[in-house]
Amino acid sequence: MPAIAVIGGTGVYDPHLLEDPREERVSTAYGEIKVFCGQWRGKEVAFLPRHGTAHSVPPHRINYRANLAGLKKLGVRFILATAAVGSLNPQMKPGEFVVLDQFLDFTRQRPSTFFDGGPEGVVHVDFTQPYCPDLRDLLVRAARTLRFPVHERGTYVCTEGPRFETPAEIKMFQHLGGDLVGMTGVPEVVLAREAEICYASVALVTNFAAGIAPYRLSHEEVVAMMKAKEKELRQLLWQAVYWIDATRVCPICHRAVAGPVTGGEPK
């Protein structure tokens, strides 16, 4: 049973990140997911390509609840995720890594909780530290050890997608304190906390956002930057995975929900 999982975003689809990956299908109350399990330096690790192995699932159609419920069912207790982002902050340049520490949620149509009332009751989970501080520290330390350009903090703005944002929206996000913009980080981070799984995300800046970049944005540009930095991103992730103590109990994430969860799944 893998205690550690990597969720790969745009440009990070290949299950051969792992040694001898095997495909597993996991049924949940929210649907079935496909995940790959394998070894990394003696550790059992699960790999979940967020958009599918062929990048066929757009951000607003990802079954986030099934993904997180499935990983929980597999026994995952620690998740490292990747994100391709546009920058709103001139200090965060294309090609640089940012370890996220806060988010602003501008999604509109996504089921964003396991707690919908009924038998599960009404649950309010603390989000003072949305991303696991211990996993964040490991990602920062890994980037510095490898001498990659990294920003220790960044506020991620999540939009609904799949369109890119307007310059007016980007200006608004800047005024609200946003540093980076993407389309997939929420509700993933929320569901991980509700499932009592440690979760941290490393973002790769692929471009400046609309109205800042002096040209029209394209998905091809994003993919090209992810491809150029693929080797570095893998090294960063696997160094952090190597340092994770899978037996550790996190006082913030692993005890986020008061009392037992009904039904054996995060709901």
**pLDDT tens profile 143-193:** 999 999 999 999 999 999 999 999 999 999 999 999 999 999 999 999 999
Q: Is the pLDDT of residue 263 over 50?
A: no
**158 and 132 in contact (C-beta within 8 Å)?**
no
pLDDT(4) > 90: yes
Q: Are 82 and 201 in contact (CB under 8 A)?
A: yes
Q: What is the mean pLDDT of the chain?
A: 91
Specify the pLDDT at position 225.
Answer: 87
Q: What is the structure's pLDDT at 120?
A: 67
Residue 121 pLDDT grade (very low, low, confident, very high; cuts 50, 70, 90): confident
Amino acid at 28: T
What pLDDT, on the 0 to 100 scale, is given for residue 11?
Answer: 59
Q: How many percent of the chain have pLDDT more than 90?
A: 74
Give yes or no for a contact between 9 and 59, defined as CB atoms under 8 angstroms apart. Answer: no
Helical packing angle, 185-194 and 64-74, nearest 10°: 40
The average pLDDT across 232-247 equals: 94
Contact between residue 38 and residue 19 where contact means Cβ atoms under 8 Å apart: yes
Give which of 15, 21, 67 is closest to 199, Cα–Cα. Answer: 67
User: How do residues 206-237 score in pLDDT, each as one tens digit?
Assistant: 999 988 877 777 888 888 888 899 899 999 99
Whole-number pLDDT of residue 267:
45
pLDDT confidence of residue 227: 85
75-89, 112-126, 231-245: least confidently modelled range: 112-126
Selected residue with higher pLDDT from 229 and 121: 229
The total of structural domains in the chain comes to 1
Dist CA 89 CA 92 (whole Å): 5
What is the longest distance spanned by two Cα atoms in the chain?
52
Mean pLDDT of 20-41: 92
Mean pLDDT, to the nearest integer, of 59-64? 95
Share of the chain above pLDDT 70, in %: 93
The CATH number linked to 58 is 3.40.50.1580
- Contact present, 202 and 235 (Cβ < 8 Å): no
Predicted pLDDT at 262: 43
What is the domain range of residue 101? 4-264
pLDDT at 259 over 60: no
Q: In this structure, is the dihedral angle defined by the CA atoms of residues 80, 84, 88 and 93, taken in order, positive or negative?
A: positive
Task: Give the Cα separation of 201 and 23 in Å (integer).
Answer: 24
